[in-house]
Structure 1
């Protein structure tokens, strides 16, 4: 039994390191060994989950190990007995969320979590451009296929996030290939948005969705993630706060529901603004909303997208509901529309609506 506890302790240490900058030192063999230990932990969980005596012994050792690791790593996340049952997921999320995770490690987990899709198992170079080529060959859609070594971002999102999203997408697809695993996927997504890591989580979620962009509208993975986002107000708020405007526009074009939720957040930000007559500008109270210029940037991008008509119609209705004022400073919606009318290029149908 002591050998089992020692092995669990080693796995907890691996996962703790995966959350730190020391992961930069990992090579292929280290990553593979970490996932092997994760598989071992899942086996131990299944074997002893219903044995109260052994479970208590394991929980006590994990508690001691966590106390030790918290002293060594200030941002350590405790590994619990329940985590052992999904230890592979815990390790995967830790690596994906860690900005220090090198491309060589991404390459290994990309290969570990992707099913065999007939592209073969040719050796993969550790160069960044070859990593992107590997992602393209394996499963990524048009967005990833369009990237290369000289193009560092797509739709406002860096290629590292697209790569991580592609990895997570394939893992989710594997989970969803078995009925009843939807709740597991929800738990996996929940674990991404732990306090303090919302920005990196949003990048990864966007990477998943952008890698699904070439798939049919009824794609199960994409629709599940969009539904999960819309059912979690804090997560979608963090996503809108963290992602570039161009990325949010791309996501809004993929999902009507996301566009509606995104518009709801933009409205909340607008209503948080108040007009300061001393400076002649709309300003946000400290800690809430976004500056007026940022708000108009979001709307300007949407007006150049597939939702231009709906966005413009919504803005005009909001202006009319606010009194329809043209004078500056009386209605945030009137001033947003006034700002957008300057140099805004719109599709023909939207131009007709604008001129009415």
Structure 2
């Protein structure tokens, strides 16, 4: 046992190093080894905790002599001490931090192995997950977010999302999670309600402005509940455009809304498989009728959008994804956010 306890002498130095600028030289493998040592110390703690009183007392005295003034308790908190030290150390490089987040949020062993990773550390890791995973890590980002939502108690997922910094990183994570295979339950129970909740029009608009039009079209094909609010937003944008007869183009007093952007978004929606494509055209026809049902161009933005969609160079919808579009639209669905 003395040999095992002698290894525990390394814990204070390991925690101190994880709090210092020395972590600038750490790579992902170093993070894995450090957390491996922490879990080994935790295993040792459990072994000694379950031993007889005489052995526990002897271990406590030995640990305190070796610099672990917290005794067995400090040994048992090894994963927490190390995890929090690394999470709070801004000197830790991004690749190493990414490995840390994955270990904390997606433990590979499951079962007992997962219990050795502190819940408080996993929650702190989830708050850092979004800005740490960018670019090509979209799928990993989505999987981490879904994993964290599954860890929440039923009904508390919305509160968890509300605690995260709201901005581009979170919106990208939500969009990726909505398209992730196997994430349908979380999408319906948490992600879509959070995105579309009453009074959240500003959130939906920020989400839609951030994402590429093609990704939004894919999201609408996958989740019909998003289509109505998104189209309502497009209808509101279209209402801000006015035709300039001298220039022969649609212009807006709102610089963030342009004819070319609106046309591109509508085109991409209309290129999705049936029944979404036909539904888009039908609702543009309804808006055209409400606008006066003009046939001549330049009088209604909806007339001009229909003319644009009926041009021969506009791609027609391809394969059938009707299994993703099972809901019908109602007038309530199409109301502006």
Give the TM-score taking structure 2 as reference length: 0.57
- After superposition, residues 261-276 of structure 1 pair within 5 angstroms as 261-276=229-244
**Residues 312 and 278 of structure 1: CA distance in aligned 2, closer, same or farther (over 3 Å):** same
Equivalent position SS for 2:179: helix
| Alignment check: 8 A CA contact 1:162 1:210 kept | no
Is residue 188 of structure 1 aligned with residue 165 of structure 2?
no
What is aligned with 1:291? 258
Q: CA deviation at 1:291?
A: 0.9
What is aligned with 2:272? 305
Q: Compute the RMSD of aligned alpha carbons.
A: 3.9
Equivalent position SS for 1:310: helix
Q: CA deviation at 1:333?
A: 0.3
Rg: which structure is higher?
A: 2
Q: Deviations over 1:277-302 (max 9, x none)?
A: 22111112134x52111101111111
Q: Deviations over 1:142-171 (max 9, x none)?
A: xxxxxxxxxxxxxxx942233212211111
What is aligned with 2:191? 225
Is residue 253 of structure 1 aligned with residue 221 of structure 2?
yes
What is aligned with 1:339? 308
Q: CA deviation at 1:174?
A: 1.5
| Alignment check: 8 A CA contact 1:230 1:257 kept | no
Supply the distance in 2 between the matched residues of 1:230 and 1:286 (Cα, whole angstroms).
24
| Alignment check: 8 A CA contact 1:253 1:305 kept | yes
Query: Structure 2, unaligned stretches of length 5 or more?
Result: 1-14, 39-82, 114-133, 321-337
**Residues 344 and 101 of structure 1: CA distance in aligned 2, closer, same or farther (over 3 Å):** farther
| Alignment check: 8 A CA contact 2:146 2:183 kept | no
Is residue 279 of structure 1 aligned with residue 266 of structure 2?
no
- After superposition, residues 58-137 of structure 1 pair within 5 angstroms as 102-116=94-108
Supply the distance in 1 between the matched residues of 2:209 and 2:25 (Cα, whole angstroms).
32
**Residues 323 and 206 of structure 1: CA distance in aligned 2, closer, same or farther (over 3 Å):** same
Q: CA deviation at 1:345?
A: 2.7
| Alignment check: 8 A CA contact 2:271 2:318 kept | no
Q: Deviations over 1:247-301 (max 9, x none)?
A: 11111112111111111111111111111222111112134x5211110111111
Equivalent position SS for 1:274: strand
Query: Structure 1, unaligned stretches of length 5 or more?
Result: 1-9, 18-22, 37-86, 122-156, 351-356
Equivalent position SS for 2:242: strand
| Alignment check: 8 A CA contact 1:304 1:346 kept | yes
The count of corresponding residues between Structure 1 and Structure 2 is: 225
Supply the distance in 2 between the matched residues of 1:348 and 1:327 (Cα, whole angstroms).
30
Supply the distance in 2 between the matched residues of 1:269 and 1:107 (Cα, whole angstroms).
42
What is aligned with 1:169? 146
| Alignment check: 8 A CA contact 1:24 1:101 kept | yes
Supply the distance in 2 between the matched residues of 1:335 and 1:244 (Cα, whole angstroms).
23
What is aligned with 1:199? 168
- After superposition, residues 154-165 of structure 1 pair within 5 angstroms as 158-165=135-142
Q: Deviations over 1:105-131 (max 9, x none)?
A: 32331232125478xx9xxxxxxxxxx
| Alignment check: 8 A CA contact 2:240 2:254 kept | no
